[in-house]
Amino acid sequence: MSVKRILLIISGGIAAYKSLELIRLFRAEGIGVTPVMTRAAEQFVTPLSVAALAGSDVHRDLWDLTAEAEMGHIQLSRSADLIVVAPATANLMANMAHGAATDMATTLLLATDTPVLVAPAMNVRMWTHAATQRNLATLRDDGIRFAGPDEGDMACGEYGPGRMAEPPAILAAAKAMLRDGPLRGKRILVTSGPTHEPIDPVRYIANRSSGAQGTAIAEALSALGAEVVFVTGPADTPRPISAEVVEVETARQMAAAVDAALPCDAAVFCAAVADWHVVGAGSSKIKKDGTGAPPGFELAENPDILATVSRGDKRPRLVVGFAAETDDVIAHATAKRKRKGCDWIVANDVSPATGIMGGTQNAAILITAEGADPWLRMSKAETAATLAARMAEALT
């Protein structure tokens, strides 16, 4: 990566202490940092500490007469390759969404056409409040990118979403935005992992998907500059740190998360979604009754996410499905592509002898309107890179 410069805006929250580590990580990558602090941020970290780590003066006051004589806030807002707001409080996000320019930070954000990455940090109730969610939707519509927030313990003693993403995750998201790859400016949805369909509070219907291929695809698309929304079921594989991650459990939850992520430029449906769910899953553990008879379950079909998106009003330009087959792979995958209405199907043979389901390798066949294109057996990372390259060709 060529030398890049980030304008880092630090707002006032306890998570501001993480900005010190973030500066260190940026500089270790050879990325220059110009820091801006709100007055509230100074209650949590000192300008001296920030300046020492950044190797640059901290910009704090909109009314610095020397700088403002030369329209310093305009120059600052446009001199960086990327603006990172970490942490971003609920108040700062509200000001951004409504175009308020009340201090140095918000004036910079309003006076720029530079890409912006925001790392929210706030109490769980503030994050889930309808006003914050409206502001979030507005900012996303404006093209603002987000890293996090994570779910976890908070300084206030509560637990839930709203915790600022860790510095390595913010670094990865920033590096993806700084790349000049062929997919820069493209928003791509990736679904991954299995779904779990509850039978009762301790049992569920599932499959053997590890989520490894979905994670690899998200990372490969990010490496080409795409903004990736990663909707995942309860997979074993670590989540891609350069994507916006949405955790779900059931197929119906995944369908709702996918709809919320649209519109986008492309979608890759890699998740192994359960076909059925249990109607009226038990609210307490189902016990044996001593008769030897198994409990009776009524199953209902889950929503067909791939077909719904492929034929919907918010259809992405490129829709890619996956077909895990155990026999007649090409025939079944070709029929599935036509039946679902998607553009491509990535088919693979997951019969037990292949070791692909839950394994580290894949032997994919790309099914398009032009026919079948078998790929060599390779690692899932190599499969992901091959698919991402083909997608870049189709989208650019």
Distance CA 221, CA 187 (A): 10
Tens digits of pLDDT across the chain (396 residues): 456 889 999 999 899 999 999 999 999 888 889 999 999 999 999 999 999 999 988 888 776 645 554 545 567 777 788 999 999 999 999 999 999 988 889 998 988 888 899 999 998 889 989 999 999 989 988 888 888 888 777 776 777 788 888 888 888 888 878 876 789 889 999 999 999 999 988 889 888 888 888 999 998 898 888 889 999 999 888 888 778 889 999 999 999 999 999 999 999 999 999 999 988 877 778 788 778 787 778 899 999 999 999 999 999 999 999 988 777 889 999 999 999 999 999 998 766 565 555 556 777 899 999 999 988 788 888 889 999 999 999 998
pLDDT tens digits for range 31-88: 889 999 999 999 999 999 999 999 988 888 776 645 554 545 567 777 788 999 999 9
Q: Is 115 annotated as a binding-site member?
A: no
Catalytic (active-site) positions: 156
The answer to whether 214 and 193 are in contact (CB under 8 A) is yes
pLDDT at residue number 368: 95
Q: Is 336 annotated as a binding-site member?
A: yes
Distance CA 173, CA 242 (A): 4
Sorted by sequence, the CB contacts under 8 Å of residue 122 that are 6+ apart come out as 13, 89, 90, 132, 149, 162
Please give the span between the terminal C-alpha atoms of the chain, in angstroms, as a whole number.
22
Q: Is 76 annotated as a binding-site member?
A: no
Q: Is 285 annotated as a binding-site member?
A: yes
Burial 323-350 (b: 16+ CB within 10 A, else e): bbbeeebbebbbebbeebbbbbbbbbbb
pTM exceeding the 0.85 threshold for the entire prediction: no
- Burial environment of residue 37 by CB neighbours within 10 A (0 to 12, 13 to 18, 19 or more): buried
Distance CA 46, CA 176 (A): 29
Nearest to 103 by CA among 191, 9, 23: 9
Q: What are phi and psi of 94, to 5 degrees?
A: -65, -45
Distance CA 191, CA 188 (A): 10
Query: Which domains are present in the chain?
Result: 5-178 (3.40.50.1950), 187-395 (3.40.50.10300)
Helices 212-223 & 380-395 angle (0-180, nearest 10): 50
Burial 274-310 (b: 16+ CB within 10 A, else e): beebbeebbeeeeeeeeeeeeeeeeeeebbbbbbbbb
Q: How many CA atoms lie within 13 A of 371 on its CB side?
A: 2
Distance CA 293, CA 312 (A): 44
Distance CA 81, CA 112 (A): 11
Q: Is 322 annotated as a binding-site member?
A: yes
Q: Is 175 annotated as a binding-site member?
A: no
Q: Is 387 annotated as a binding-site member?
A: no
| Rounded to 5°, angle at Cα 191 from 185 and 196 | 160
